[in-house]
Chain A
Amino acid sequence: KPINSQFELMPPPYSLSSLEPYMSRQTLEYHWGRHHRSYVENLNMQVTGTELDGMSLEEIIIASYNKGNVLPAFNNAAQVWNHDFFWQSMKPGGGGRPSGVLMELIERDFGSFDVMLRELKLATSTQFGSGWGWLAYKANRLEVGNALNPRPSEKDNKLIVARTPNAVNPLVWDYSHAYYLDYENRQADYVQIFMDKLVSWETVSARLEIAMTRAAERAREEEKQREEDEDDMLDSEAVEMYLDSDNDDSEPE
Chain B
Amino acid sequence: MQINKEKKIKEIDQEIEKLKELEKREKISLDDAINALMERKKSLLNKLDFWDRVFLARHPDRPYTLYYIENMFAEFTQFHGDRLFGDDLSMITGFAKLDGIDVCVVGHQKGRGTENKIERNFGMPHPEGYRKAARIFKLADKFNIPIITLIDTPGAYPGIEAEKRGQAVAIAENLKLMFKLDVPIIACIIGEGGSGGALGIAVADHIAMLENSVYSVISPEGCASIIWRDASYAREAASNLKITAKDLIELKVIDHIIKEPAGGAQNDPRLVYDTLKDHLKNIISELKDKENLKAQRIEKFRRLGIFK
- Asked if A and B bind, the verdict is no
Question: B residues bordering A, Cβ < 8 Å?
Answer: none
